[in-house]
Amino acid sequence: MSSLREVLAGPVLEVAPRLLGAVLTHGDVAVRLTEVEAYDGPNDPGSHAFRGRTPRNAAMFGDPGHLYVYFTYGMHHCCNVVCGPPGTPSAVLLRAGEVVRGAEIARSRRTSRSDRDLARGPARLCQALAIGLAENGADLTSGPLTLELGEQVTAVSTGPRVGLRGAPDRPWRFWESGAATVSSYRPAKRLPPAP
DNA sequence: CCTACGATCGTCT
DNA sequence: GACGATCGTAGGT
């Protein structure tokens, strides 16, 4: 049986689907992951690390098994699990999951009508788990934030990533087939019609 | 169900 | 100075 850190140190495209079914816990709230996206560091025009290391993305260049959290759209946070061999800035964006513990608390943090939507979407997942910049770089093998691999999910679907422009479409989004909590797909803004 | 749009600010050009 | 790994609401079908 391999440790979490060993698994996360593998190639990002192998790690990402293995995270489906894993449970991320922060204090009293826990979320079982149903949708993730792979970001392959320097080879990936869609990755925050594509243009090298900056203060914001520094956590991606750290050891696997840590969190990379960023702030976007002036109001939302998204979180990634850093993976790949140490120093390779690869990460898996946690896009959605189902709240399996602490639903009461998660509900109080969110303005959502249904429990299904509590952690459905990357920023909602962060809200439900109270993950913000304070958690950037957090070690997932100790402390209040922990990640536990679950039973391997066998029914996995793949498709293009969400919300990206300027990156070739790569089927690097993975979700548990049929899961109710998978985020709704919003295609990237369409280009204006050619003249 | 769907598409459209405003919010709001850190980051990098 | 432009834009974003998004969300919630509004309104139409």
The CATH number of the domain where A85 resides is what? 3.10.300.10
Has residue A134 been placed in a domain? yes
Has residue A101 been placed in a domain? yes
pLDDT of amino acid A163:
86
Q: Which domain holds residue A123?
A: 4-147+156-176
Has residue A53 been placed in a domain? yes
Distance CA A24, CA A13 (A): 19
Of A173, A19, A181, A4, nearest in space to A100 by CA: A181
Inter-residue contact A191 to A176 (CB < 8 Å): no
The pLDDT tens digits along chain A (195 residues) read: 679 999 999 999 999 999 999 999 999 999 999 999 999 988 999 999 999 999 999 999 999 999 999 999 999 999 999 999 999 999 999 999 999 999 999 999 998 889 999 999 999 999 999 999 999 999 999 989 999 999 989 999 999 999 887 676 789 999 999 999 999 887 665 555 544
If you ran DSSP here, which 8-state letter would residue A130 be given? Answer: T
pLDDT of amino acid A185:
81
Sequence-separated (6 or more) residues with CB below 8 Å from residue A78: A69, A70, A72, A93, A94, A122, A123, A126
Has residue A192 been placed in a domain? no
pLDDT of amino acid A195:
46
Has residue A94 been placed in a domain? yes
Listed as ranges, the nucleotides of chain B within 7 A of a protein C-beta are 2, 7-13
Alpha helices in chain A (DSSP H): 4-8, 12-18, 103-109, 122-129
Cβ A74 to strand B below 7 Å? yes
Cβ A134 to strand B below 7 Å? no
**Phi, psi torsion values for A102, nearest 5 degrees:** 75, 30
Cβ A73 to strand B below 7 Å? yes
Give the nucleotide nearest to A76 (CA→C1'): C6
Has residue A190 been placed in a domain? no
Cα A95 from chain centroid (whole Å): 5
- CA torsion through residues A69, A70, A73, A75, sign: positive
Listed as ranges, the nucleotides of chain C within 7 A of a protein C-beta are 3-9
Cβ A71 to strand B below 7 Å? yes
Cβ A55 to strand B below 7 Å? yes
pLDDT of amino acid A187:
67
Q: Rounded to a whole number, what is the distance in angstroms from the first to the last CA of chain A?
A: 58
Has residue A181 been placed in a domain? no
Has residue A183 been placed in a domain? no
Q: Which residues pair with A144 in a beta bridge?
A: none
- The number of domains in chain A is 1
pLDDT of amino acid A186:
75
Distance A71 CA to B2 C1' (A): 29
